[in-house]
A and B are shown apart, each in its own frame.
Chain A
Amino acid sequence: MSIIRAEEVSYEYEQIDENGEIAGTYKAIDHVNIEVEPGQFIAILGHNGSGKSTFAKHINALLLPSEGTVWVDQKDTKNPDTFWEVRKTAGMVFQNPDNQIIGTVVEEDVGFGPENLGVPTEEIWKRVEESLRSVGMLEYRNQSPNKLSGGQKQRVAIAGVVAMEPKCIVLDEPTAMLDPNGRKEVLEAVRDLQKRKNVTVILITHFMEEVIDADKVFVMDHGQVVMEGKPKEIFSQVDTLKHYRLDVPQVTLLAWELRKNGLDIPLGILREEELVEAICRLD
């Protein structure tokens, strides 16, 4: 049973001219079919303007498809009766850490989601503590979010979503505004969650390094899903990726160049160790 199923989903933005009239439409996503199994770590890759963020907002019912249907945990996002349940099932973390933290104290922010869901007070406290611990931010619970680093803020934002106990977390470019250290912190927290709590993770990104561990990768371009498969399969097609203006990880690129120049190195190398091993095996 899939947790998220998108069938022939399209979304059109209306372009409004100066007089407030509709001047035309722009298809941000175009007949997208994506299916995600519970507990998976899914990555959606794409260049700017590829429609990946627009798609992410469909999973949370922030946007409703112009055509097609999105089911989240068997519930149609267009159905107003299950609207809030969909949002409860799929939590969302956004790009800018500052613009998604509502509370002025870390723990109050994490408690915001459960408060909205009408969770009883003692339960909220339990959830807040647990979710802050799960992202390693428990010691900052009484601090002001303004004093935290970008990576820490983003971990708080993740905790805020975890506290709602969603079955699925969608992260919309959560590391785009972070430095490499912050990026690492956030990704580790996400991976840890997926493994320990068996939460489905959908990571939207344009950093290739972040998707190496994913169970499945979707590549989007101009609103369409153009590639899908395991990271190894995706990264074996360096030419195609370049065509979609995506950079492959350096190791993969090096391996690919070596192979192109006649060395016997397998396709789709993702980690340094793999490459080292492959080179050592050459004679």
Chain B
Amino acid sequence: MIRDITIGQYYPARSILHRLDPRVKLVSTFLYLISLFIFQSISGYIIVTIFLGVVVSLSKVPLSYIMRGLKPILILLLVTICFNLFLTRTGSVLFSIGFVKITEGGLRSAVYMGIRLIYLIIGSSLMTFTTTPNELTDGIEKLFKPLQKIKVPVHEVAMIMAIALRFIPILLDETDKIMKAQIARGADLESGNLFQKAKAMIPILVPLFISAFRRATDLAMAMESRGYHGGEGRTKMKPLAYKKRDYYAYLIMLFYVVVIFVIGRYYPLRIWIF
């Protein structure tokens, strides 16, 4: 089950999205995330859906693979939807049993919130699917380079991120192994209340932390022995340089934002209560 987590993983393929400059993808993802929250109408969602559909099909990442990334946030999604559904009390009552009341406003915000969350995850994981962590960190490093002037350790932060992403699958594997080892020795991870379950995690977390520290020492040594000494004097194997397609992508993104802003805001489509 732990292997199902696909968020933050790279999906190797040869698509236009894979070849875009990571800075374009970062900025676009950011704009896209904002765009999800600036409107409140069906027409906006239709545009986002079309846009997302086109981008997903361009990315050549299979839809089922993307959907798998939603699994870990399922609970969060359900909780959010329930909260919105039951606790928002605006508009006329649609349905009620005892103290449970579902109102128009509640249903609306539950549906909107659900869609937004799903689209948010799909959109942002699409970025990590199509960008190798190295590219991603290169992109971040270059985007935030100006901050270096005010002594923000941009290169270091970017390197930390890259390493963290690289070690996610390794540590997940390790967690799996430790869990099995502890279960084999009779550790009970399944039963009990929440508190007991949390306590049962200790024999898993302790060895995991120890091994993570050991790996960190090893990796630091390996990096040093390969001549790593910070960002200074480093060259890039894949230096970032905007190409024509990147400018087009920016233009498309700009166009998308304008369209969604205008249509989502000023030309709302009303179907029933939405």
Report which A residues bind B (CB closer than 8 A): 57, 60, 62, 84, 87-88, 91-92, 94, 96, 98-105, 107-108, 111-121, 124-125, 128, 142-144, 146, 160-161, 164
Contacts and interface: CB of A to CB of B under 8 A. Distances in A.
A108 B222 contact: no
B225 A91 contact: yes
B226 A113 contact: yes
Contacts of A88: 227
A119 B165 contact: no
Contact of A62 (B12, B219, B221): B221
A278 to B, nearest CB: 43
A87 B227 contact: yes
Interface in B257-273: none
Nearest to B218: A99
Given A115-B237, A118-B234, 7 more contacts: A87-B224, A99-B222, A105-B10, A108-B238, A113-B226, A121-B237, A128-B237
B237 A102 contact: no
Interface string B156-180: 0000001101100110000000000
Contacts, number: 101
Interface in B227-274: 227-229, 233-239
- Minimum-distance CB pairs A-B, first 4: A111-B237, A100-B222, A99-B218, A116-B227
Contacts of B228: 112, 116
A205 to B, nearest CB: 18
Contact of B225 (A62, A111, A115, A143): A62
Contact of B132 (A84, A105, A112, A161): A105
Contact of A118 (B166, B222, B233): B233
A60 B163 CA distance: 23
A119 B226 contact: no
B132 A104 contact: yes
Interface of A is mostly: helix
Name the residue in A107, A142, A144 with the highest tally of chain B Cβ atoms < 10 Å from its Cβ.
A144
A92 B165 CA distance: 24
A100 B218 contact: yes
30 contacts: A62-B224, A84-B227, A84-B229, A87-B227, A94-B218, A94-B225, A98-B215, A99-B215, A99-B222, A100-B219, A100-B222, A102-B163, A103-B166, A104-B134, A104-B162, A104-B166, A105-B134, A108-B134, A111-B237, A114-B237, A115-B234, A115-B236, A116-B228, A116-B234, A121-B235, A128-B237, A143-B12, A146-B169, A160-B226, A164-B226
Contacts of A100: 218-219, 222
B17 to A, nearest CB: 16
A88 B165 CA distance: 27
**Interface size class of chain B, counting residues whose CB lies under 8 Å from the partner chain:** 20 to 34
A57 B222 CA distance: 11
A55 B237 CA distance: 32
Interface of B: 10, 12, 132-134, 162-163, 165-166, 169-170, 215, 218-219, 221-229, 233-239
Contacts of A111: 237-238
A117 B228 CA distance: 8
Nearest to B134: A108
Nearest to B9: A144
A94 B222 contact: yes
Given A62-B221, A100-B218, A104-B165, A124 B12 contact: no
Contact of A164 (B133, B218, B227): B227
Contacts of B227: 84, 87-88, 113, 116-117, 164
Contacts of B224: 62, 87
